[in-house]
Amino acid sequence: MKLIKILVLLLTLISLTGCYNYKELNDSAIVSAMSIDLDEDNPEKYKVGVQIMNAKKKENNNVSEIAFFEASGLSIYDALGSIVLSSPKQLYLGHMEVVVLGEKILKQKSPLDFLDFFMRDSSAEKDAVVVVSREKNASDILKILTPLETITSQNLKASLFNSADFSGTTNIVTLDELISHLMDDSKEAILPSVELTGKVNKGENIDNLSDSDPDVRIRFSNLALLKDDKLIGYLSNNESFGYNVITAEAGNTYIKFKCDNENYATLELVSLKTNEEISFKNKKPFVNINNETKTNIVEYNCDLDLIKDDKIIDEIQKKAEKRIEYLMNDFLDKAYEEYKTDVLHYGSTFYKEKRNEMKKYGYTTKSIKDDIKFKVTSKVKVDAAGLTVKSINNKEDKRER
Amino acid sequence: MTSSNKREKIVNTLKEKTNNAPDIKYKDFIINKQNVTFIYSMSVSSSTSINDFILRRLDEEKGKIKDENIYEYIKNFIPNNNIIPFDKKEDISYYVMSGFTVAVFDDGRLLAFENRASIYGSISKSENERGLKGPSDAFSENYQFNMGMIRRRVKTEDLWIDEKTIGTKSKTKVAMFYIKGLTSEETIRNINEKLDKINIDYVGNTNYILEAMSNTNRFILPTNLSTERPDFAAQMLMQGRIVLIVENSNEAIILPCLFLDFFKNPEDYYEKGLNVIISRTVRFVAFFLTVFTPALYISLMAFNWESLPSGLLISFSVQREGVPFSSIFEILVMSLMFQILRESDLRFPGKGGSSISIVGALVLGQAAVEAGVVSPITIIIVGIASVSSLAFSSIDLINACRWWQLFLIIMAWMFGFVGVLFGSLIILATLVSQSSCGVPYFSPFEPFSLKEQPNVIIPTKKEKFHPKNIFKKDGRKEK
C-alpha cells in the first residue's frame, strides 16, 4: 500500500509537470551577440540589440536563420523586456559570445553604469568578448550578415581570436575583465575595436552573403583606450602592437623591419617573455621593462648567406631588438605622455610592492603615472631560419655564375 | 581376509575423496568367492556399454567361471578395446572421471576399461552467449550430460558434487559443484542451508531455485551468473565459486557473483591479455552509455544549456524546431518503441525477424524524423543507449539497465544534472550495500583492494594460469 501511495504521488508530480526549472530548448531564443548604444531620440535610454541564432529553421535544410531584434529602455533589462514583446521566444543569454559597445555610449557614459546586469544575472555569460564599434553604432555591426560564417557573432569572435593571435594589434577582453579593470583605482582599460568598410546599408541585405567579394566587411581596427571610464581615443597599429608586447600577449605574431635600404625581413615570434622591475630612482618612479623574444625567420628579402657569414644572425637580432623597443616605446609615449593614462596599472603595482617609498615621496596610485620613467630593453634570439640558409636574393651567388 | 580389506580400503578412500559423488557408482560382484568392485561415473561414461559388455556378461557367466584367477579372466574375456592394468591407487579417480570403468580386485590390482560416452552428438551450440573464440558446446536439458561436461573439463577428484532433490511435486535434482579446498566452507554451508530450506512445488528452470533462495526482491541487478557454456562454468569453478546444475534446465548458475563479472566474458581468457584491455574498456563505456546517455541528454536539453558548445546548442535547437513534443516525451516514446521492437523480434517465429527490423529502422527512424514527429538527435540518443546495452551477454544485466535508465531519465527530467548526480549516488549506494552469498557485490572496489585492481581490466597471467579463490577475504555477513 505504501508503495502504491508513493507511486501515485510520483506520477502526479510528473504528470502535472511541476518539474523544477524544466524548459524546452526551442522555446528559448539563444542570444549570441548584443549591442548597446545610446538611444538617439532619448539620451536617457539605452538601445539594446540582440542577435538570435535559432530564430527559424531554414526551408529544406537544417540551418538556422539569424535574426536581429532591437528595443530601447531605461535599463538593459528594461530594453531586453521590450525585445520579448516583438520576439516570440524568451531570451537566453548563456551563450552570448560578443558584446558590442557603441563608440558614443563609451564617450558619454561609464560602462559601470549599465553593465551591472551581466554580473548579477546567473544565466548571462561573463566570458563574452567586448568590442567597441568604431565610428558606427554598435547595432550596425550586428546587422551585417557576414560573408564568412553563418553566425555573425561567431565570425566576430573567431576573427578576433585570429587577429589577436596573428597580427598582434588587437586584444581579447572579456566582460568580467573589463569590469574588473574599470573597478581598479586607475579606472582605465583597453578594448579592441571593429569598424565597417564599404557601403554599410548594403550589408543587411542577404545578397551580401552570396557575393564572393561583399560590399561590406567587418574589420578589426586598433585598440581603444578608456580613461576615467570614458573612451578617449584609439591607438595606432604600432602602438597596439607595443601594448601586446609589453603584456606578452603577442604570442604568435610577427615583426617586420628593413634589412637593407629597400627590402624587408619578417620574423615570426615563437615565444615572448616580459619582465618588469619597478623601483625608485632619484625619488622618481622608474620602470625597467625587459623583453625576451624567440623568433624564426619566415621571410628575408635581402642578401643572406648563413653559411658564409654567421654574424649576420647577430645583425638580424639587433635590428629586431631595435624594432621591438621602438614599438614598446611608441605605446608608452602615447599612453603615458600624450593621454596620461595608466592602462598597464603601474599605480597599483607600485602600491603593492613599494608602498612605503610611495608614501615617502608623496605619490598616490593615481598621481604616480605622470612621473614614471621607463627604460625598455629587448633581447631577440633567432632560433630557426626555415628551410633555406641562403636567400634567393643572394648577390654573391649571381656574381659567381 | 587381509586382501579383501585392500579392495574395501581403496573403495572407501575414493568415496571419501570424492565426497561420495552422486554420479560415481560402485558395483560389487562375487565370483568364485572373490570380490570385484566396478567403479564408473554416470556422467562421463556410456551406461549402455557398461551394462551390455561388462555387467551383463559377468552376470550371465558368473556360475560358469571355474577359473581361480578372476583377474586374468576379466582381463582377457571382457570385450573392450582399451583395457589398461595399473597399480597406482591415485589414478583411479582420473580414469573414472575420464569415462573409464575401473575394476578393483581383492588383492588391490586394478583394471580400467574404456567406456567413454560420446555425448557430443546430442550437444547443441551455445546460442545466447556467442563468442568469437573458445568451445561452443552448451549445456543441454540432459542432467547427466551437463554433469559430464563439467567433469570432462575438471577431472580432479576434488570436484565435489552435492546432489539434492527439490520440489515436492516435480522432484527435480539439483547438483551443486565446487572444488574442495578452494571454495570457502562458509559459502558452501551458506548455499547448502539455503537449498535445504527451499520449499516449493515445482522447479521449472534455474530461476525457480534462485528466486526461492534469495531473501529480497528489491535489488534489480542479478546477484548470480547464469551461463549455458560449460567452459565458463569450469573457469568459474577454478575461482572458488559454486556451480548449480538443475535437472531439465540448460543453464548453470554460478554463485557467488560480483558486479564485475558481467564485464568479463569467458573468451577473455582465450585471447591475448593485452588485447582484452580494449574489449573490457569498451564494455565499461557501453555500460555507462546505456545508463547515462538519455538522462544526460535530457538534462542538457532542459536545464544545463551552458555546458554545450554554442554550435551544438544551435544545432540541437534547430533540430527540435517544429517538433510538437517535449524532449522527455520523445525519449520515453522512442525507448518504448525500441523495447517493443526487441520484444517482438524475440517472439516472432524464425525468418520474419528481419522484416521487423526493417520496419523499425525505416518507419520509426527515418520516417518519423521526416514527418517531424521526433527530432533526429533523439533517435541518435536512443540508438546509442540501446545499441550499447546489447554489448553484454547477460540478459539479466540488460534488463536491469532498463530500470536504471528510466530512473535516471526521471531524475534528469526533474532536476537536471543535479538529479542525475543524485540518481547515480543512489545507484552506487545500492551496488555497494549488496552482497552475493556473503561476498560484497562491488568488490574489489568496495571493500577496496589495490592488489586486485589489475584483474579488473586485464586477465593477468597469474589469474589465468593459477586462479585462486577470489573471495578469500569474506568480510561481511549476508543480510
Distances (CA, A) of A184 to A36, A57, A116, B391: 23, 45, 16, 58
| In-domain check, residue B446 | no
| In-domain check, residue B457 | no
Which DSSP string corresponds to A228-292? TTEEEEE--HHHHHHHHHHTT--TT-EEEEESSSS-EEEEEEEEEEEEEEEEEETTEEEEEEEEE
Q: In B, which residues are within 8 Å of A97 by CB distance? A: 310
| In-domain check, residue B461 | no
Same domain, B292 and B398: yes
Using an 8 Å Cβ cutoff, are A299 and A387 in contact?
Answer: no
- Cβ A22–B302 below 8 Å, yes or no? yes
User: Which pLDDT tens digit goes with each residue over A110-137?
Assistant: 888 888 898 888 888 888 899 999 888 8
Same domain, B205 and B282: no
- Give the number of other CB atoms < 10 A from CB of residue B359: 12
- Domain total in chain B: 3
Structural domain boundaries of chain A? Answer: 25-234, 247-401
pTM of the model: 0.80
| In-domain check, residue B440 | no
Residues 6+ apart with CB under 8 A from A198: A214, A215, A216, A217
Q: What is the pLDDT of residue B1?
A: 45
CA–centroid distance for A24 within its chain: 34
Same domain, B136 and B245: yes
Same domain, B279 and B428: yes
- Give the number of other CB atoms < 10 A from CB of residue B283: 17
> Which residue range forms the structural domain that includes residue B196?
122-269
Same domain, B157 and B246: yes
Q: What is the pLDDT of residue B426?
A: 93
Residues 153-172 (A) with a CB less than 8 A from some CB of B: 154
Instruction: Nearest by CB to B318, from A28, A62, A123: name it.
Output: A62
Same domain, B196 and B161: yes
Same domain, B312 and B209: no
Same domain, B278 and B264: no
| In-domain check, residue B450 | no
Q: In A, which residues are within 8 Å of B317 by CB distance? A: 25-26, 28, 30, 53-54, 64
CA distance A153 to A72: 21
| In-domain check, residue B350 | yes
SS3 category, B246: strand
| In-domain check, residue B445 | no
Residues 6+ apart with CB under 8 A from B470: B239, B240, B452
Of the three residues B117, B132, B159, the one that is the final residue of a domain is B117
Phi, psi angles (nearest 5°) of residue B372 = 80, 20
- Cβ B317–A97 below 8 Å, yes or no? no
Same domain, B378 and B229: no
Alpha helices in A109-151 (DSSP H): 116-120, 138-143
Q: How many CA atoms lie within 13 A of A322 on its CB side?
A: 10
CA distance B268 to B434: 26
Same domain, B141 and B61: no
SS3 category, A293: strand
Q: Is B167 exposed, middle or buried (0-12, 13-18, 19+ CB in 10 A)?
A: buried
Query: For chain B, how many residues are written?
Result: 479
End-to-end CA distance of chain A: 105
Q: In A, which residues are within 8 Å of B323 by CB distance? A: 26
SS3 category, B334: helix
- Cβ B318–A25 below 8 Å, yes or no? no
Interface test with B, best of A23, A26, A127 (most B CBs within 10 A): A26
Q: What is the pLDDT of residue A385?
A: 80
Same domain, B129 and B110: no
Q: What is the pLDDT of residue B2?
A: 54
- Cβ A30–B301 below 8 Å, yes or no? no
Distance from CA of A124 to the nearest CA of B (A): 10
Same domain, B93 and B217: no
pLDDT in tens, chain B (479 residues): 455 578 888 888 888 888 888 888 888 888 877 888 888 888 888 888 888 888 888 888 777 777 677 788 888 878 888 888 888 888 888 888 888 888 888 888 888 888 887 766 667 787 777 777 888 888 888 888 888 888 888 888 888 888 889 988 888 989 999 998 888 888 888 889 888 888 889 988 888 888 888 766 667 888 888 888 899 999 889 888 999 999 888 889 998 888 888 888 888 888 888 888 998 999 999 999 999 999 999 999 888 888 888 888 888 888 887 788 888 888 888 888 888 888 888 787 766 667 777 777 777 778 888 888 888 889 899 999 988 988 888 888 888 888 899 999 988 988 889 999 999 999 999 888 888 887 888 888 888 888 878 888 887 787 788 777 776 654 444 33
B315 to chain A, any CB pair closer than 8 A? The answer is: yes
Q: What is the pLDDT of residue A15?
A: 58
Phi, psi angles (nearest 5°) of residue B12 = -65, -40
Distances (CA, A) of B335 to A14, B328, B343: 18, 11, 12
Q: How many CA atoms lie within 13 A of B141 on its CB side?
A: 3
Q: Is B242 exposed, middle or buried (0-12, 13-18, 19+ CB in 10 A)?
A: buried
Of the three residues B212, B245, B269, the one that is the final residue of a domain is B269
pLDDT of A208 over the 80 cut: no
CA distance A298 to A320: 13
Instruction: Nearest by CB to B314, from A20, A53, A125: name it.
Output: A53
Residue listed under C-alpha cell 557408482: B25
CA distance A208 to B46: 90
Q: In A, which residues are within 8 Å of B310 by CB distance? A: 30, 32, 53, 95, 97, 154
Assigned C-alpha cell, A23: 524548459
Q: Report percent pLDDT > 70 for chain A.
A: 87
Distances (CA, A) of B2 to B10, B15, B53, B89, B399: 13, 20, 30, 17, 64
Instruction: Nearest by CB to B317, from A19, A22, A25: name it.
Output: A25
CATH number of A247-401: 3.30.300.210
Is the dihedral angle over the CA atoms A134, A138, A143, A145 positive or is it negative? positive
Q: Is A148 exposed, middle or buried (0-12, 13-18, 19+ CB in 10 A)?
A: middle
Distances (CA, A) of B144 to A12, A138, B42: 55, 87, 7
CA Rg value for chain B: 29
Using an 8 Å Cβ cutoff, are B179 and B237 in contact?
Answer: yes
DSSP β-bridge partners for residue A130: A99
Instruction: Nearest by CB to B317, from A20, A22, A54: name it.
Output: A54
